[in-house]
Chain A
Amino acid sequence: MAIPKPRNNSGADATAQRRIQRIEMCDIVKRFPGVLANDRVCFDVKAGEVHALLGENGAGKSTLMRQLFGLYKPDEGEILIDGQRVEFNSPADAIRAGIGMIHQHFMLVPTLTVTQNVALGLKSSREPLTDLDVVAKRVRQLSEEYGLKVDPDAYIWQLSVGEQQRVEILKALYRNASMIILDEPTAVLTPQEVKDLFATLRRMVQEGHGLVFISHKLYEVLAISDRVTVLRDGRVIGTRETKDVTRDELARMMVGREVKRLRAQPQQAGEPLLQIRALRAMGDRGTEALRGIDLEVRSGEIVGIAGVSGNGQRELAECLGGLRKATAGTILVAGKDLTHASVQQRLQAGLAYIPEERMRDGAIKEFSVLENMFLLDHASPKYTHGIFLDFRRMREHAAALVKEYTVKTPSLETPIKNLSGGNIQKTIMARELSREPRVLVAAQPSRGIDIGATEYIHQRLLEQRASGQAILLISEDLDEVQALSDRIAVMYEGRIVGIVGRGQATAEQLGLMMAGVPMEEAMGAAPTAPTAEQPIEVSSVV
């Protein structure tokens, strides 16, 4: 193990002096009103290892680690650092002890530069003045050492998500954190960025850092960790050496039962219901995001859109949903031109839309489950008496949907923001699918959702397909696209670079197309070649 490097005069004096060898959390209990988030949890992490903390959403992973980082105080139990009992009242205490945390939602100030974000909260060597030049120098040094490419003078708002994460890691390294907690670090990254991140993490482990890797993605846990602890409903199900477990075993520990892996069975498709022709649209940054999309989805067919995020998938979904203006081309639903139609007209034409940003575009956070179920149909004569809402009818209908879609909610009146991601998504699906649409656009339907709910959502999509709907499935999860789609269209830089039928292309070939390699060339490539190179994009969850 590497000896800690002597620190230069970087003014990082609020940081740990000594490397931690081992952290133990013993019998941790944490209660929130009505919830036992951690129930006598024991967990430990050693220098020079990646210890994965695996579990579904709401299993208590983040809660456990937030206690280690001083954001919450445990109700019971103790935390030992190298055998010494410690108590953290704030993150500042944890940082001083040598612990760093990379949060799922980045803790960065967008209006400040990379260097300013790193320097924030530290004593400067020139108090009261800042010593940003000194900090920038050390940041450059660290980013070279660990392969964390980022411009110290750039403003955070100018950076990509992957770069922002690198800043977060630099912040921890700059503070000499020897134990670093990563809370779902891959959730927002592209496959290439995941690869880079893993390389950095391996580098850190070599340097003697201990890492806690929080995730619900089995594949990643198997790829990066030395040990894995599975949490379910706030309890530890078990801790294993990663080399001794299989993916199925971990899935079973995580969910508590066997997990089915759904595959679409071949089925005859009918007449085209969604037709997209030469569609063009602008992106948020003023550049053209869609550069002529031609695509057709037929009745009883799922067409999957695969691609690395940022290649126009989001804009395509928004154009179809009526949230973004098409600059050219046409969108036909069941033969009707909806290119410039209002959202209302799209709904009437039988188009349903499950948005990627479900909390921003799919639901109103503060509204109850009941209210969210009726965001579209509140004015329908079925649920009104004149100008009054017929709450009895609405409740009956909502209760039936909650039951049918197995939405786990304490009541219909519960604000939707209190539900887990999976249950929010089920609520949105219930609302959209109960209107019996003819065309469904589902954008990232399982992103950030646990295995159990994902399984349900997939099953539901297949049922809709069987009933003759045309489904456009946009997903960055290649496994999901491959499992469900009759045809896969690969998007790259606002264009569709190729459309392949079920089973016609391997994950490796699709991966090449996603990276911009033309279809003929990608399909000609030897299917075995790039597997070792690109393990992440070829299969992630379930």
Chain B
Amino acid sequence: MDDILSVAALVGILTSAVRLATPYLYAAIGEAFGQLSGVVNLGVDGIMLVGAFMAIFVALGTGSLWLGVLVAIVAGLLMGLLMSVISVTLKAEQGISGIGLYMFGLGLSSLLFKVLFGTVKTIVGFQPVKIPILGDIPIIGPVLFQQSVLVYGAFLLVPLAWWILEKTTWGLRIKAVGQNPAAADSLGVNVNRVRYASVCLGSALAGLAGASLSLAMVNLFQENLTAGMGFIAVALVYFGSWRPAGILFGALLFSTVNALQLWMQVLGVKIPADAAVMLPYLLTIVVLALTVSRVRGPAALNRPFERGEA
């Protein structure tokens, strides 16, 4: 028990926590864009799986990690386009089509994995990049400034998303379309176009989330690599009340508990591994139950837009 309280252990836990938050941040902030425009995409996890596989497959094939990331983003975008067609144009029930998209992503990534890989393959992924000066600060340096590029990207996405939502005309449109599409339409905003763009952006970020998992964290691919991370990302959107800062807080809370349980296992603290793994998920449920009732989300969430309907 002494080990876990040492400075070294603390730095280790926090460093892991920051790293582990990465895919959640990409996926949850992407999902927030879609939801703010009025579309729930429950297929995040499936998109992440496809993204994760495509990223490592292309990176191994071409030797370029960045090309892998790009392909993962494009794959996510295409799946987002599919989701948009189904839920925005065809106006299908979003919850159901999202779950369909998840199953599709799970199946597709498993199939491609079996056909193209056969066995688990590893890769030398993105390496930590130490930022000059900042990286040398004790404790904070290793925790925040000795991470890989994709980790930095995820954390920079938080203020960027806030900026887009609060300061740009595009952000204004997204929020208006999610709250009162009829009002936006009556002012000449193309509701469906805004929704397509938001869902596709969100899905592209989910693809990137997958790439960050396979190229910057576990550096391998196996079937169902994400194990439900995408669903946690959806929960984090509610937890964060559709605000980037809230999502950041939620993602860090979740990943810290996760890092803690990982380190407890590493350091041999005597609790059953399965129980430890459950911990972050249990926390998610408890926290969601305690917080979500206070905030009201986009009023038009889950509702396809039909002009002329009151």
Contacts and interface: CB of A to CB of B under 8 A. Distances in A.
B176 A120 contact: yes
Interface of A: 14, 66, 69, 71-72, 90-92, 95-96, 101, 103, 105-112, 116-117, 119-124, 127-130, 171
B170 A107 contact: no
Contacts of B310: 105
B216 interface: no
A397 to B, nearest CB: 32
B184 interface: yes
A91 B175 contact: no
**Pairs A-B, 3 closest by C-beta atoms:** A92-B188, A121-B187, A107-B183
Nearest to B300: A109
Contacts of B184: 109, 120-121
A119 B172 contact: yes
Contact of A72 (B176, B179, B180, B308): B308
A130 B176 CA distance: 14
Contacts of A107: 180, 182-183, 186-187
A116 B183 CA distance: 12
A98 to B, nearest CB: 13
A169 to B, nearest CB: 14
B230 to A, nearest CB: 27
Contact of A90 (B176, B179, B188): B188
B308 A66 contact: yes
Contacts of B187: 91-92, 95, 107, 120-122, 171
Nearest to B180: A109
A112 B174 CA distance: 12
B179 A112 contact: yes
Best-surrounded residue of A101, A109, A171 (most CB of chain B within 10 A)? A109
Given A14-B188, A110-B180, 14 more contacts: A91-B187, A96-B188, A107-B180, A107-B182, A108-B183, A109-B179, A109-B183, A112-B172, A119-B169, A122-B187, A124-B169, A127-B169, A130-B167, A171-B187
Given A66-B308, A171-B187, A121 B179 contact: no
Contacts of A116: 172, 176
A69 B187 CA distance: 11
Nearest to A121: B187
B173 A109 contact: no
B185 interface: yes
Contacts of A120: 172-173, 176, 183-184, 187, 189
Contacts of A90: 185, 188
Contacts of B180: 107-110
A360 B175 CA distance: 27
B173 A128 contact: no
A304 B231 CA distance: 57
Contact of B186 (A14, A91, A122): A91
B294 interface: no
Nearest to A105: B310
29 contacts: A14-B188, A71-B186, A91-B185, A91-B187, A91-B188, A96-B188, A106-B183, A107-B180, A108-B183, A109-B175, A109-B180, A109-B183, A110-B179, A111-B175, A111-B179, A111-B299, A112-B172, A119-B172, A120-B172, A120-B187, A120-B189, A123-B169, A128-B168, A129-B167, A129-B168, A129-B169, A130-B167, A130-B168, A171-B187
A91 B184 CA distance: 10
Contacts of A91: 185-188
Nearest to B171: A130
Contacts of A109: 175-176, 179-180, 183-184
B197 to A, nearest CB: 13
B169 to A, nearest CB: 5
A92 B185 CA distance: 8
A103 B186 contact: yes
B270 interface: no
A429 to B, nearest CB: 24
Contact of B189 (A69, A106, A121): A121
A121 B183 CA distance: 10
A110 B298 CA distance: 11
Interface string B280-310: 0000000000000000000100000001101
Nearest to B170: A128
B186 to A, nearest CB: 4
B19 to A, nearest CB: 32
A127 B185 CA distance: 20
Given A127-B169, A128-B170, A112 B175 contact: yes
A425 B111 CA distance: 60
A106 B308 CA distance: 13
Contacts of B172: 112, 116, 119-120, 130
Contacts of A110: 179-180, 299
Contacts of A171: 187
Nearest to B164: A128
Indicate the member of B168, B175, B188, B189 with the most A CB atoms within 10 Å.
B188
Interface in B181-201: 182-189
A173 to B, nearest CB: 14
A90 B185 CA distance: 8
Nearest to A92: B188
A108 B180 CA distance: 7
Contacts of A72: 308
A12 to B, nearest CB: 12
A90 B192 CA distance: 13
B189 to A, nearest CB: 5
Interface string B72-114: 0000000000000000000000000000000000000000000
A232 B21 CA distance: 64
